[in-house]
């Protein structure tokens, strides 16, 4: 007996209509109809509710093979939805970086061209690539969303008479791809060769060392500049410059620390006993 017929038999034996079953499971009547005609399958939460409602065990309702199929299909649906939402967010964020950073930089400082195109935008897209790895967006969604985001960026720059983006837009796209694929490769290769606990400790030490060097380096130079009577630059110039210099290694090291911390936590929380 297939899944749809089993659900229908349980409902009919309990003298319930599709509407009544749908109300008890907090789903639509159309969902019940799809389940019973094998045009859809319940998600994990609905499966649990079904077993509680009819006072049966999950393995008596479905075979192990059917449960595996349902679990995999639900996982794929969740993964697809997650990547779709993240990809739409990436389009907005990628385009916003390419438009808002130059817009406000040139608005308040028309001479900030080098800082914007050679420092701010490259760093921003490298960090965005790192974040894309951290939230586990699959590479096809990364490629498509970033390519789509180029359209509003180029439209914005084409509307300006004084500033042109030109080939720099492609350079930033390559930087974004490079940071994403390189970090993805590092994570995958490290997971094969090492265990998450070891990597968690390694990146904890790495992040701490980089942070300490950043703080000491910035503090010493800021104090030196503050005490310099012949220097025209304010002391906080060092903070800005050093932050831009250290932000990429800091973001990458802390990203990997967070990633492997969650990875180790998930492994420890995974039950070792068989469900069935």
Share of the chain above pLDDT 70, in %: 88
How many domains are there within the chain? 3
34 vs 15: CA distance, rounded Å = 19
Q: Specify the pTM.
A: 0.64
User: Would 276 be classed as within a structural domain?
Assistant: no
Same domain, 218 and 130: no
Domain range for residue 227?
A: 195-271
Model pLDDT, residue 148: 93
Same domain for 152 and 99: yes
Verify that 235 and 140 share a domain, yes or no: no
In a domain, 130, yes or no: yes
Q: Which of 62, 88, 105 is the last residue of a domain?
A: 62
Domain shared by 78 and 180, yes or no: yes
pLDDT of res. 97: 93
Q: What is the mean pLDDT of the chain?
A: 83
Instruction: Please state the rounded mean pLDDT for residues 156-165.
Output: 75
Q: Rounded mean pLDDT of 149-178?
A: 85
**Same-domain pairing of 179 and 218:** no
At residue 253, the pLDDT reads 87
Q: Of 62, 83, 113, which marks where a domain is finished?
A: 62
Looking at the structure, do residues 137 and 212 belong to the same domain, yes or no?
A: no
Within a domain: residue 137? yes
**13 pLDDT more than 60:** yes
Domain co-membership, 56 together with 70: no
Render pLDDT for 23-62 as a digit per residue (tens, 0 to 9): 888 889 898 888 888 787 777 778 788 888 888 876 666 6
52 and 171, same structural domain? no
User: Do 161 and 80 share a domain, yes or no?
Assistant: yes
180 and 106 together in one domain: yes
State the CATH number of the domain containing residue 24. Answer: 1.10.260.40
Examine the domain organization and report whether 163 and 173 are in the same domain: yes
Q: Are residues 180 and 199 in the same domain?
A: no
């Amino acid at each position: 007996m297939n899944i749809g017929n089993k659900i229908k038999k349980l409902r009919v034996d309990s003298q319930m209509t599709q509407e009544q079953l749908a109300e008890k499971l907090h789903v639509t009547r159309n969902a019940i109809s799809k389940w019973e005609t094998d045009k859809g399958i319940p998600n994990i939460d609905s499966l649990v509710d079904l077993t509680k409602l009819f006072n049966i065990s999950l393995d008596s309702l479905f075979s192990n093979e059917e449960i595996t199929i349902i679990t995999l299909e639900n996982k794929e649906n969740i993964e697809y939805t997650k990547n779709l939402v993240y990809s739409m967010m990436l389009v907005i964020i990628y385009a916003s970086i390419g438009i808002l950073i130059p817009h406000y930089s040139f608005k308040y400082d028309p001479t900030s061209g080098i800082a914007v195109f050679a420092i701010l935008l490259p760093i921003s897209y490298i960090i965005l690539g790192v974040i894309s790895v951290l939230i586990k967006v699959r590479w096809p969604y990364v490629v498509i969303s970033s390519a789509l985001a180029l359209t509003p960026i180029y439209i914005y720059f084409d509307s300006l008479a004084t500033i042109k983006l030109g080939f720099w837009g492609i350079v930033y796209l390559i930087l974004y791809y490079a940071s994403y694929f390189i970090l993805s490769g590092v994570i995958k290769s490290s997971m094969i060769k090492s265990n998450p606990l070891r990597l968690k400790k390694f990146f904890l030490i790495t992040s701490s060392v980089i942070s300490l060097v950043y703080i000491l380096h910035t503090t010493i130079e800021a104090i030196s500049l503050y005490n310099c009577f012949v220097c025209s630059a304010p002391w906080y110039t060092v903070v800005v410059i050093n932050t831009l210099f250290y932000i990429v290694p800091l973001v990458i090291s802390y990203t990997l620390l967070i990633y492997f911390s969650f990875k180790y936590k998930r492994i420890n929380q995974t039950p070792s006993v068989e469900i069935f």
